Structure 1
C-alpha cells in the first residue's frame, strides 16, 4: 500500500501536477478537483492552503522559477554601472518570465478582467512593490557611485518592467538582448537622467 505523502513532499507533488496540467492543457484545466485527484490528496487539503486555483498556480510557478535561478528580489546586480545593472536586471527578469511561460502570464490577464478577484489584486500589489524595491536598490547603488544625485519617481521605476511585460504578453514579440539594451538606452536611462537636478 502506497504511503500517503505529507508536508513538503505533498507540496512538491501538488506543484508539479499543477504545472504539468497547465503546460499540457492550459489554465482552464487547473482545478482543485483535478489537482487533488492527480496528487493523491483531497480538495479539502487544497482549500485549506490556497484560496483559489490561481493562487496555487502562482505559487507553483514561482517555486519553479526560484528553484532555477533564485528570486529576482534577492539578486545582486553589481556590474559597475547603472546601465549595466539595468541591463543585467532586465535580462534576469526576462529569464523569469520565460520560466513562468506565456500560459501563466496570460492567465493573469484573464483573471484581471474578472471583478473582485482578490488573489490577482494581491498578486499585482506584491509585484509592484517587489519591482519598486529592485529598482530602488539599483538606483541607490548608482547614487553611492556618483552616477546620479537623486532617485526617481515610481512611474519611471516601474517603466522597464511594464515595457517588458507588454512585449511578452501583448505584442507577442521576442525579448532580445538588443531590445533590452534599447529599452535601457532610449527610454529608462533618459527618463532617470531627466529627473536629475541640472546645474
Structure 2
C-alpha cells in the first residue's frame, strides 16, 4: 500500500520553496537564465530532488503556473461594466509593467512559445484567470448592462487581446488610453451582439 501524501506536509513546503525560488530566478534572469542548479541553490533544496521532481526549467515554470491557477486575482468592482473592463485591461497593462511581476509574466509567455508543457500550463492559467474575470460580465448581466447571451469569458479575451498584441507581437508600449480603448471596443462588440 502506497503511503498517502499529507496536504501541507514536507512535500508541499518543498514545492512552495522551489516555486518561490523559481519566481525569484525568473525575475532576476528571465526564462533564458532559469536553471535547475540556480533554483536548487536559491531554494536550499538538493538539486537531485529538483531534477527528479521538475526535470527541466520548463517543468519548474509549468508547476509555478499550476500553483498560480487557483490564486485569486483582484477583480475590479467599479459598479459598471465599462469601469470593470477598463480595470481588467489596466491590471494586465500594469502587471507587465511592474518591475518585479512583469519579468516573471513575460518569462512564462516566452517559455510557452518554446515548450509544450509550459504552453499547456499557461493555457490553463489564463483559462482560470478568464473564468475569474468573467464575474464582471455576470454582474453586468445581473445589473441589466449586457444581455444574458454575452459569452462572458470571450468578452474578457476580446478586451485583453489588444494589450497582449501590443506587448508581445508589436512590442509597443501600452498606455492607459490604449488599455481603455481595448476594453471599450470589446464592450461595444458585446453590446452589438458580436460576442
- The TM-score, its normalising length taken from structure 1, stands at 0.71
Q: Deviations over 1:76-111 (max 9, x none)?
A: 422111101111122223333334324652552354
The residue that corresponds to 2:113 in the other structure is 112
The residue that corresponds to 1:101 in the other structure is 102
Give 1:50's match in structure 2, choosing from 48, 54, 75. 54
Unaligned residue ranges in structure 2 (runs of 5+): 1-9
Q: How does 1:114-153 map to 2 (within 5 A)?
A: 114=115, 117-131=116-130, 133-153=131-151
Total equivalences in the alignment: 181
Shift of the 21–134 alpha-carbon distance from structure 1 to 2, 3 Å rule, reads closer
Unaligned residue ranges in structure 1 (runs of 5+): 1-5
Shift of the 139–16 alpha-carbon distance from structure 1 to 2, 3 Å rule, reads closer
Q: 2:121 & 2:11 partners in 1: Cα distance?
A: 25
Report the alpha carbon displacement of residue 51 of structure 1 after superposing the two structures with TM.
5.1
Q: Deviations over 1:50-77 (max 9, x none)?
A: 353234246558989x9xxx732xx342
Report the alpha carbon displacement of residue 36 of structure 1 after superposing the two structures with TM.
1.6
Shift of the 16–109 alpha-carbon distance from structure 1 to 2, 3 Å rule, reads closer
Residue 174 in structure 1 maps to residue 173 in structure 2:
yes
The residue that corresponds to 1:25 in the other structure is 29
**In 2, are the aligned partners of 1:160 and 1:183 still within 8 Å (CA)?**
yes
Shift of the 62–92 alpha-carbon distance from structure 1 to 2, 3 Å rule, reads farther
Q: Deviations over 1:90-142 (max 9, x none)?
A: 2223333334324652552354244xx223223213313431x1343111111
The residue that corresponds to 2:3 in the other structure is none
Shift of the 31–80 alpha-carbon distance from structure 1 to 2, 3 Å rule, reads same
Residue 191 in structure 1 maps to residue 192 in structure 2:
no
Report the alpha carbon displacement of residue 32 of structure 1 after superposing the two structures with TM.
1.3
RMSD: 3.3
- The TM-score, its normalising length taken from structure 2, stands at 0.72
